[in-house]
Each structure stands twice: as structure tokens, then as C-alpha cells.
Amino acid sequence: MKLLKNIFVVIAIIAGLYAIFALSPSTEIGFGFFALSFGLLAILWTVNAYRDLSPNSSLRNYTAMFLVSLVFILLHSIWSTLIILFNFKGFLNYINYLFISAAYVAFVFAAYNILKIGKEFGFREQAKEIKKALKPKKSR
């Protein structure tokens, strides 16, 4: 039953991707819509995770930063598609760089958050101490 469901999901994704590229006027725009659809899915999953996590928890703070990065990446994809569609020039082109730069800045904050989580919730040193404590003491 699970296998059947997975096969159905894969077929649906392939059909969706085919439809995106078939309906798009050019391959560039097709890739634009492709990126948008996956970006939206990533944002939806992240928002759901954010809502489920406890307020002020480390994971929730990390999720929030990750969400900001995803939003800027999505904005970058939307703007890239708009540039192709409407042939933007000059200043309107630079907005795209702003979006991708903001995404990287948010990623740095998210990475810093995950670094803090690693330090806070990592128990490597404690594990070493337990290993030492568990070793049978040699009798004289």
C-alpha cells in the first residue's frame, strides 16, 4: 500500500513538472516556475514545523531564521522569473541581488543558531566521562 502511494506521488510530481515545462513559454520561465513550486512547498513545511514547536525553543528560533532565508530565496526566484517575463532593466535588475544577499545573511544567522544548538545539545564530552566511569576499576 505504501509502495503504491509512493509510486503515485512520484508520478504526480513528474506529471506536475511536465505540465510546468509544457505550459511555460520558454525553458527559463519553466525553471522559474519549477523553483517557485518547490520553494513554496519548503516554506509551507517550515511554517508548519514553526507552528508545532514550543515558543522560545532553540529549534523554533532556528526554524524562524531558516524560514526568513527561504522567503528571500523565493522572492529571488519570483523576481528572476519576472525579469525574464517583463524584461526588466537597470535598477529593477539589482533588486534581485538584494534578495539573494538578504537570503545569505539570514542563512548566516540560521547557521549561527544551529552552531549554538550543537554546542548546547551536544553531549560528546559527557559521553566520554560516562565511558570512563563505566570502566571497571582495577583492583590493587
Partner 1 sequence: MKKSGMKDFEDKLRNLKDYIALATVPASSYSKSNKEMIRILINTQNTPGVYVTLNKPFNILEKDFKISKIDINKIIFIDAVTKTAGGKTSKTKNCLFIGSPENLSDISLAMDQAVRAVPGKEKFVFFDSLSTLLIFNSAEVVARFIHFLAGKMRVWKVKGIIISLEDKKNNKELIDKLSQVCDIVLDLGG
Place of cell 513545511: 45
Burial (Cβ within 10 Å: 0-12, 13-18, ≥19) of residue 23 = exposed
Residue 87 DSSP code: T
Nearer to partner 1, 12 or 127 (CB): 127
Q: Which amino acid is at 25?
A: P
Burial (Cβ within 10 Å: 0-12, 13-18, ≥19) of residue 70 = buried
Q: Does 120 bind partner 1 (CB under 8 A)?
A: yes
Report how many residues bind partner 1 under the rule CB under 8 A: 24
Nearer to partner 1, 20 or 64 (CB): 64
Site track for partner 1 across 94-113, x = CB under 8 A: --------------------
Nearer to partner 1, 56 or 87 (CB): 56
CA 64/CA 50 separation, integer angstroms: 7
Closest distance to partner 1 from the beta carbon of 17 (Å): 35
Place of cell 525553543: 57
Q: Does 138 bind partner 1 (CB under 8 A)?
A: no
Nearer to partner 1, 98 or 127 (CB): 127
Q: Which residues bind partner 1 (CB under 8 A)?
A: 53-60, 117, 119-127, 129-134
